[in-house]
Amino acid sequence: MRASQPRRPVVDLTEAEARLKLPLKWGVPDGVLPAWVAEMDYAVDPVVLGAVQQVLADGITGYPTFGWDAALAESYVAWSGRHFGWAPEPRAVHPVVDVTAGVRLAIDVFSGPGGVVFPTPGYNAQHGLARVTGRAEHLLEVPPSAERAEIDLDRLDRLFAGGAQTLLLTQPHNPWGRVFTRAELEGIRDVVLRHGARVVSDEIHAPLVLPGAEHVSYLAIEGTHDHAVAVVAASKAFNTAGLRCAQVVVPDRAGQLRLVDQPMSRNDSYSPLGMVAARAAYDHGDPWLASLIERLDEQRTLLAELLGTHLPEVRMRPLEATYLAWLDASAYGHADAAAVALQRGRVMVSAGESYAPGTSGHVRLNIATSRERLTEVVRRLARAWT
């Protein structure tokens, strides 16, 4: 955060406000607490909201310019440099409608015909991207018992040797809550280089790294620019997913030219409102983001305390980033922990089975809410599972 900027507070939404502002997450029956989809029960940063409101007040509702946008690119480059100590050149940063669409675009444009390696448990919206892009999907399973989820490099090596050509890397990881270290990323790079493969790095949660960890972009690793792209966005950290704008970062010049040469139908529909929101977040959002990270750190600590008190048999991998905790509740013996949570506890969490086969005893829990609401969520889960 820039030293001259005072922090802006994170404001909790009331239930009535949340039902109005978050129709998907809060589109649940009365009496059910939603702790599932990755949206936060916090009011949007007023600076970002004000920028969007000004655009609407000015009546700017037409199409955005197509292709590379200098202002958006330069905003991201400056933001990345401040937060991560590394940034691409502006020409590398191109708008796309959202991160999943950006991943699909990257596979379509840059990857060979071989299969896509997808580590699991993995973000459920990206299951099937390999099939959608006409490629086989190779699941790289991370054992549920692993205390700190890690990519199995030997297994990755075998999958590439067997014909896979692309790794879909989610980092920071959803739902593990992991931040990969530089050494881990270098290990992945070495395996990829050995096989002439590619990496698509989904880094949407990079702004949400919590104290004790540090985000390193895969593109910040030496020797990655000719085989990798990253997909980034401000939308997850600033709660603006509905405004529809992410960015794909293509570091090598040949790749940039190949991308801009694609037909419009392959990369369109990003929103001018989303572009304005992203620029406002990148240019002016640091004070609010600092408050958010502090709040999520407090929520992380609170969750650990609540689990220790009410659900001592639940195992949680260390939450290093995101506001999404991956909980192993299998010790309580329920065939579908998420279904039991909803039926008995009136809490909606994300079912583990949607992230990896055989994880129905797991759930993904969203902690980006008020202290009081998170406390009630865990108490209800305890009544449901025990």
Check whether 8 has a pLDDT greater than 70: yes
Q: Mean of the pLDDT values across residues 80-96?
A: 97
Tens digit of each residue's pLDDT (9 = 90 or more) over 241-283 = 999 999 999 999 999 999 999 998 899 889 999 999 999 999 9
- CATH 3.90.1150.10 spans which residues of the chain? 15-37+286-385
pTM for the model: 0.96
Amino acid found at 40 = M
Mean per-residue pLDDT of the chain? 96
Cα separation, 316 vs 303, whole angstroms: 10
Q: What is the pLDDT of residue 127?
A: 94
Span 15-37+286-385: which CATH code?
3.90.1150.10
Check whether 3 has a pLDDT greater than 60: no
Contact call for residues 123 and 174 (beta carbons, < 8 A): yes
Check whether 123 has a pLDDT greater than 50: yes
Q: Mean of the pLDDT values across residues 89-103?
A: 97
Check whether 65 has a pLDDT greater than 90: no
Q: Mean of the pLDDT values across residues 21-40?
A: 97
Q: What is the pLDDT of residue 175?
A: 96
62-284: CATH topology is: Aspartate Aminotransferase; domain 2 (3.40.640)
Cα separation, 180 vs 311, whole angstroms: 28
Distance of CA 39 to the CA centre of its chain: 11
Contact call for residues 166 and 112 (beta carbons, < 8 A): yes
Closest CA to 166 of 198, 207, 190, 196: 198
- CATH 3.40.640.10 spans which residues of the chain? 62-284
Tens digit of each residue's pLDDT (9 = 90 or more) over 140-196 = 998 877 778 899 999 999 999 999 999 999 999 999 999 999 999 999 999 999 999
**The total number of residues written for the chain in this structure:** 386
Q: Mean of the pLDDT values across residues 327-343?
A: 97
